[in-house]
Chains A and B, each alone.
Chain A
Amino acid sequence: MSGRLVTLRGLGVAYGAGPAALSDIDLAISAGERLAVIGESGSGKSTLALALAGLLPDNARIAGDIAWEGGMKPVPGRDIGFVFQDAGASLNPVLRIGEQVAEVAQRHLGLDWHEAYAYARDLLAQVQVPAPDTVLRAYAHQLSGGQRQRVAIAAAIAARPRLLIADEPTSALDTIVQSEIVSLLDRLVREAGMTLVFISHDIALVSGFADRIAVLHQARLVEAGPAADVLRSPKATYTARLIASHIGLDTPRLVGARA
């Protein structure tokens, strides 16, 4: 892990005249780390993702600042890749998969169309889409939810961004596909030395791969630290509650055997 990538100082966000979606967030993200941001509905975790990506809507009122290393504001799509929960909504329904992945590479990497299309095929193979040649010519609606998310990941990493933000990328998927997508993201960011910000409501899911965990609750950062510390000895009572709420295969069952 080398150096700072970005530092949030006193970051606050509110939409229109609404209450604060994020309030007074101080958080530093190191280059190359895998940071999990954990929170429940309304915690502000998606707002944090959008603020980092520079994708907040026009009516967002922002306080504090987001300081990028070297002072250069990153370009979304080129320097920052984004994977959303609903891959179906982030893919263009009337463009073939190959065209939309190649378009990213053509625009940001300066490849000609032929090179970009060949690169798109490599990316689809990298994200382990079965039958990449068929998927290149397919439309988003012809793919399963898991395949669509793999394609969305291919498009997000096509420009070789420094930072990949994944906002609940597996919440619409079943558990089997979820574990495949998490392994895929983990491998891709390791191989490329990318920084990963993984937003999730599931602290157990991120416990297997995150270097650090930040916990948001009601628009505030209640805790941030190395994953093992946060999981083993949480400082915030809210974090302890999240951990206690986990249901795994070793959690005591609520019903016993029937007579």
Chain B
Amino acid sequence: MTALLRTTGLSKTFSSAGRRVTALDDVSLTLEAGETLGLVGPSGSGKSTLARVLLRLTEPDAGCVDFAGADFTALRGEALRQVRRRIQMVFQDPLAAFNPRATVADALGDPLRLHGLAGRHERPAAIAGLLGRVGLAEDLAARPIHEISGGQRQRVAIARALATGPELIVLDEAVSALDVTVRGQILDLLVSLQRQNGIAYVFISHDLAVVRAVSHRIAVMDQGRIVEQGPVQSVVENPQSATARALVAAVPRLMRQVGEDGD
């Protein structure tokens, strides 16, 4: 089986106030179609830089990203546009990701228009269809983005990502800002969309428990490197790296008994 996504030797260094910061250091990983790779690590470990390189929002200093068998990092022009359609993203803060004055219909209409996926007359039906896929009512389309709830906004962000029919969605802390009672519903939605459409996810979070719940495999990052990767069970139950052990230990335990220490 060929991988949908394969990164080889990705490196990236930033210079800040005369200091050189290694954000990515020889990062190699693979992702199969329809699979979720959980990417977990502490703040500053390079997770978001990796997400940006995967989306080609940041150019790596070295290494390459192969997507569906072609070197994504070498593409230009129309070929790049074609691949961009197939890789989408959802970030932590949906309000920051949208023009705040836009309506839900504007936010969903943009990708349809930019990628020529639905003509002016077909667009309302396409938007209604996208809203339905993420469990939102059609009449939400006319509402301004800033008026809807945080959970609804993140559903709209997911609908926008779905608009181009992607094979991969990069989710960078996509549920971290949501209320806990809403978070579970969004995770359920992501998993059911994956089952229906075979979408692969790179699911990025600092929260190992959430990553464990939705991922097939986990890669643990620290200081720009992948320090451990493997099936969820082995990373969570038998972590080998110091970083993975610290992440396991740091997950809050719900303690219901007096004196219970959770160990």
Contacts and interface: CB of A to CB of B under 8 A. Distances in A.
Interface of A: 40-41, 144-146, 173-179, 201-205, 207-208, 228, 231-232, 241-243, 245-249, 251, 253-255, 257-258
Nearest to B150: A41
A202 B43 contact: no
A201 B43 contact: no
A176 B247 contact: yes
Interface of B: 32, 34-36, 42-44, 150, 179-181, 183-184, 187-188, 191, 194, 206-210, 212-216, 231-232, 236, 246-258, 261-262
Given A174-B206, A176-B246, A254-B213, 16 more contacts: A175-B206, A179-B250, A204-B255, A207-B252, A207-B253, A208-B261, A208-B262, A228-B258, A231-B254, A246-B254, A248-B252, A251-B209, A251-B213, A253-B214, A253-B232, A255-B194
A252 to B, nearest CB: 8
Contacts of B187: 254
Contacts of A254: 187-188, 191, 213-214
A40 B181 contact: yes
Contacts, number: 113
A174 B42 contact: yes
A255 B255 CA distance: 25
Nearest to B237: A249
Contact of A245 (B36, B183, B253, B256): B183
Contacts of B261: 208
| Closest A-B pairs by Cβ, 9 of them | A40-B179, A174-B206, A204-B252, A204-B254, A175-B250, A179-B250, A205-B252, A245-B180, A207-B255
A248 B210 CA distance: 7
Contacts of B214: 253-255
Nearest to A146: B43
A203 B254 contact: yes
